[in-house]
Structure 1
Amino acid sequence: MALIDINFHSMTLGKHQTFKVILPEQQDMFQPEKSVKRLRTLLLLHGLSSDDSMFSRYTNVEMYANTHNLAVIMPNADHSFYQNMKYGHSYYDHVLEVWRYAHQVLPLSWKREDNYVAGNSMGGFGAFHFAMNEPQLFEKAVMMSAALDMNASFIDYDWYDFDGRAVFGDIDDISETAMDTRYTIDYALRKHGIGKLPKLYFMCGTEDDLIERTDSFIQYLKTINVPHKYDREPGEHNWSYWDKGIRKAIDWIFEDKTVDTDNQIMNWVG
């Protein structure tokens, strides 16, 4: 596996920005006469206090991805909640820009059935939004400990040096805004139809402060008959839980797929 840092000029941000890619090394990469097989790809989104390095530092995602010959794109979206901020940069557009840039310069498959999105906490919120708004890009979406079913009190939550108003504006009612995840899925159903949406997998630890909001949102999905998978099990809002979560997420992505192990180089050991 290769762990690649890419620094490029982002047109959406108007500045240079970095992102990371975990890339399986295929045997055919080193044979110029051979055409390289385009890889299945996971867009993996970090949480509020994290960046593009965190999953590769605090989980074994590289090992899990290697098992399935899966490429992983990890963008940096700062404190944006993966939105085009009210007072700040257009990070929703930026992440799509990163996704397209990576697919243009690396051997990644453009096929919908070969692309997936996942994230933890704020990244779970982002993964849900990309799944609902860009269903033509992603076949499956995984939300780990996601910020779902929030209310306007989020705007005033103590985020240290972060203010929710920078993302969503100064609002008292989140109804029919990007914060309103029920509205987000209702709109997606009206626009795309249930058959066009990605398959959804939610997970949250029972000791996580977000468990009640997750339970509430899952109940809403049942009410509107949206198919989904939900793991509600012991765990906290931490990397120990997300390491297990990203392994389960990748296994779930591939449960109905055949892995091309013939084109892998090897599993390196110490």
Structure 2
Amino acid sequence: MALLQVNVFSNVLEMEVMLDVILPQETKKTLGTNSKGATEDVAVLYLLHGMNGNHSVWQRRTAIERYVKDMDLAVIMPSTELAWYTNTRYDMNYWTFIAEELPKICHELFPQLTRKRARTFAAGLSMGGYGAVKLGLRKPENFAAIASISGGLTIAEGIDQLLEIKSKAYWEGIFGPLAGIKGSENDLIHLIETLDASQAPKFFITCGTEDPLHQASTYTMQKMQDRGYDVTFEDGPGEHDWVYWDHWVKRVLEWLPL
């Protein structure tokens, strides 16, 4: 198992971007990590950070490297700033970067990564849960499974909650006028209602029962169920913190259809 800290240039963002990458490696090591790492058609998980994180936060706050040591799974952890995986109104195209450019960069740098939809996944926490679900709904042809941990999934329905977190200027810099989010390409509930569920990946949604975003997760799950999506919902005691996220990312990894 190799851990790489990668600095790449994004033509879309016109800036350097950092990635942490966990990559299976064939070794003679007998203790601690798998010695039979896959070297071709390696399954890949794009693991997205939340509002206060960056490319390194999953590595620093969880045991993600240890959790995947026997899975023959590459984990790509990009830094995407505070842009909500969106092409912002201030002309930084983070959606295009994460949905289109990043996979191309990763396949160029790591040719052993799979190109098969059936072995490509995305997951994230909080803002990253929103980003992962957005990838699954807008790029369903690319992903077999999507997981949201404590995701901010109902931004169009929760404008007041958004304004408790950051200023109106911040949100409008990303999404434009707040009244225009509902029914747009950035409204996950709208995307759920318009996508043919038979074309969608499978979804896993979890959120702590003491988390302010718990209702957003249950509401999104119900909308998916009503439309016939393959969605698994699990919750348990927990708040919006790394104790919950470290525990539940293990469950997400178990759930992935490897």
Give TM-score, length-normalised by structure 2: 0.89
Could you tell me how far 1:179 is from its partner in structure 2? 4.1
Secondary structure of the residue aligned to 1:164 is helix
Number of corresponding residues: 245
Which amino acid counterpart does residue 7 of structure 1 have in structure 2?
N
Out of 104, 108, 112, the residue aligned to residue 100 of structure 1 is 104
Q: How far apart in 1 are the matches of 2:213 and 2:85?
A: 19
- Cα contact 2:200–2:229 (8 A) shared by 1: no
Match in the other structure for 2:138: 133
Could you tell me how far 1:48 is from its partner in structure 2? 0.7
Q: Percent identity?
A: 29
Q: How does 1:174-193 map to 2 (within 5 A)?
A: 174-189=181-196
Secondary structure of the residue aligned to 2:124 is strand
Q: 1:160 to 1:172 in 2, by over 3 A?
A: closer
Q: How far apart in 2 are the matches of 1:111 and 1:75?
A: 20
Larger Rg: 1
Extract unaligned runs of 5+ from structure 2: 29-37
- Cα contact 1:43–1:99 (8 A) shared by 2: no
Q: How far apart in 2 are the matches of 1:174 and 1:122?
A: 16
- Cα contact 1:155–1:165 (8 A) shared by 2: no
Out of 33, 41, 61, the residue aligned to residue 64 of structure 2 is 61
Out of 187, 195, 198, the residue aligned to residue 195 of structure 1 is 198
Could you tell me how far 1:173 is from its partner in structure 2? 4.6
Secondary structure of the residue aligned to 1:98 is helix
Could you tell me how far 1:154 is from its partner in structure 2? 4.8
- Cα contact 1:88–1:166 (8 A) shared by 2: no
Secondary structure of the residue aligned to 2:69 is helix
Match in the other structure for 1:20: 20
- Cα contact 2:45–2:120 (8 A) shared by 1: yes
Could you tell me how far 1:19 is from its partner in structure 2? 1.1
Out of 177, 191, 199, the residue aligned to residue 170 of structure 1 is 177
Match in the other structure for 2:160: 153
Out of 117, 121, 136, the residue aligned to residue 116 of structure 1 is 121
Could you tell me how far 1:162 is from its partner in structure 2? 7.7
Give TM-score, length-normalised by structure 1: 0.85
- Cα contact 2:49–2:57 (8 A) shared by 1: yes
